[in-house]
Structure 1
Amino acid sequence: MQDETITNPEEQEVPVEAAAEDAGKTLDEINEEIEKELEEAIEQEERSREEELEEEVAELKNKLLRSVADLENYRKRSARDKADAIRYGNQRLLEDLLPVIDNFGMGMAASEQDAGSMIYMGMQMVQKQLDDFLGNQGVQVVDLKPGDVFDPKEHDAMAQEVSEEFEEGQIIRIMRKGYKMGDRLIRPANVVVAQAAVVEEAADAVAEEGEES
């Protein structure tokens, strides 16, 4: 007697044609749907890859632009530093020379009573040579006169005095000339600045109180 194998109808494979007929579709229609889904999946993957490439290109472009900008800024800084080195290369020497020029100017002022003498005329010639030398180096005296407003960026206040002629904050007199080399201040002018009389009176009152105590 032969063994009979009982097969569960639910476990039997259903042919594609039968499945298509059950779904009310033909085999060609199912294949078309599968192909369409594959095409859409491929297109989606290509779009994603294309977007990634566009992002990478944009990032590389930004890096390139930044590199170009950095290089241009470096070139400008180098050119500016080179120009400053040429322009201000003698600044230290000129700073050391200015006190000598100051002393020579004081000697000129003290010799004015002998303005007609050969010595004074020779000193005038030397003064002109010094002025020409400073001018050739781009050095100029800070434009300043009594009555100008005190500017801490260009002036050093050596003292304050009460003045009836000048208002508070104005320069009374110039103790030492200031010099510039181009736009750079190489030595500030030493000046005496006017202060308000009220400040002077208050200082006197404090001094008197101190003496009484």
Structure 2
Amino acid sequence: MGKKKTDDKDLKENAVLAEEEQADKEATEVEELLDTEIIEEDEVPAVEKEEEDESLRDQFVRLQADFANFRNRTQRERVELYQRANEDLLLEILPVLDHYEMGLQNAEQHNPDPAVLDGFKLVFDQFQSVLTKFNLKPIEAVGEEFDPHKHEALTHMPSDDFAAEICSNQIRRGYMFGEKLLRAAQVVVSSGPAEAIEGGE
């Protein structure tokens, strides 16, 4: 009888131990599962945050590039506007300069008072100096080979002083605005000596 009670007790203790072990095992599994879920929950926001950060970085880089392009385009447009305004103003001034130069040449031919002539030359030189500051340069024409990019040929005429296709006379002075042609020089182009032309005919 006593042995049977002992066996029953042992069985109950074993059963309790087994239940405790099972409970511990299940608790451990639950804890591991919870830990895994917490880790996964922490990892998902980290991945999303990294993707969001990458997207923001891309947007920032694109914004920087757009701003740099906008700034460069604005500066380029400002320079072009400034140049166009100067071109328009210079084109209005050039006819005045032409007439002044023609008047000065006529005055030199008729030998007026030297003091008056020197005064007109001084004003003309000052005028040219101001235009030079704005990067306006006269085009050399007489004695130069005809260049359709700089010269406008009004006519061909025989010349004993200049070979064929050389500018023998300048009717209107041309000007360069920096590297750009502002106004072509109107010239007479030599067709060579008159005797050579007659002999060729």
| TM-score class, shorter | 0.5 to 0.7
RMSD of aligned alpha carbons: 4.3
Identify the match of residue 24 of structure 2 among 20, 25, 28: 28
C-alpha displacement of 1:56: 1.1
Matched, 1:46 2:42: yes
- Contact kept in structure 2, 1:172 and 1:191, CA below 8 Å: no
Distance 2:39 2:63 in 1: 36
Distance 1:107 1:91 in 2: 25
- Contact kept in structure 1, 2:156 and 2:188, CA below 8 Å: yes
Q: Which residue of 2 aligns with 1:201?
A: none
Q: Which residue of 1 aligns with 2:95?
A: 99
Instruction: Tell me the SS of whatever aligns to 2:104.
Output: helix
Distance 2:111 2:47 in 1: 89
Distance 1:72 1:63 in 2: 14
Segments of structure 2 that go 5 or more residues without pairing to the other structure are 1-14, 192-201
Query: Compared with structure 1, are the counterparts of its residues 99 and 50 closer, same or farther at alpha carbon in structure 2 (3 Å cutoff)?
Result: same
- Contact kept in structure 2, 1:177 and 1:190, CA below 8 Å: yes
Distance 1:27 1:66 in 2: 58
- Contact kept in structure 2, 1:150 and 1:193, CA below 8 Å: no
Distance 1:27 1:194 in 2: 117
Query: Compared with structure 1, are the counterparts of its residues 71 and 191 closer, same or farther at alpha carbon in structure 2 (3 Å cutoff)?
Result: farther
Distance 2:190 2:58 in 1: 58
Instruction: Tell me the SS of whatever aligns to 1:57.
Output: helix
Tell me how many residue pairs correspond in the alignment.
167
Distance 1:83 1:121 in 2: 38
- After superposition, give the CA deviation of every residue in 1:122-159 in whole Å (9 maximum; x if it has no partner): 4322311221232344433246675468374xx35446
TM normalised by structure 1 equals: 0.53
C-alpha displacement of 1:105: 2.1
Instruction: Tell me the SS of whatever aligns to 1:150.
Output: coil
Matched, 1:172 2:166: yes
Instruction: Tell me the SS of whatever aligns to 2:62.
Output: helix
Distance 2:47 2:177 in 1: 58
Distance 1:184 1:101 in 2: 19
Q: Which has the higher helix share?
A: 2
C-alpha displacement of 1:55: 1.6
- After superposition, give the CA deviation of every residue in 1:9-46 in whole Å (9 maximum; x if it has no partner): xxxxxxxxx9xx8xxx9443344334334433332332
C-alpha displacement of 1:53: 0.8
Q: Which residue of 2 aligns with 1:132?
A: 129
C-alpha displacement of 1:98: 0.2
Q: Which residue of 2 aligns with 1:204?
A: none
Distance 2:61 2:113 in 1: 71
- After superposition, give the CA deviation of every residue in 1:58-77 in whole Å (9 maximum; x if it has no partner): 22223233334444554555
Instruction: Tell me the SS of whatever aligns to 2:166.
Output: strand
Q: Which residue of 2 aligns with 1:65?
A: 61
C-alpha displacement of 1:96: 0.7
Distance 2:118 2:128 in 1: 15
Q: Which residue of 1 aligns with 2:138?
A: 141
- Contact kept in structure 1, 2:152 and 2:187, CA below 8 Å: yes
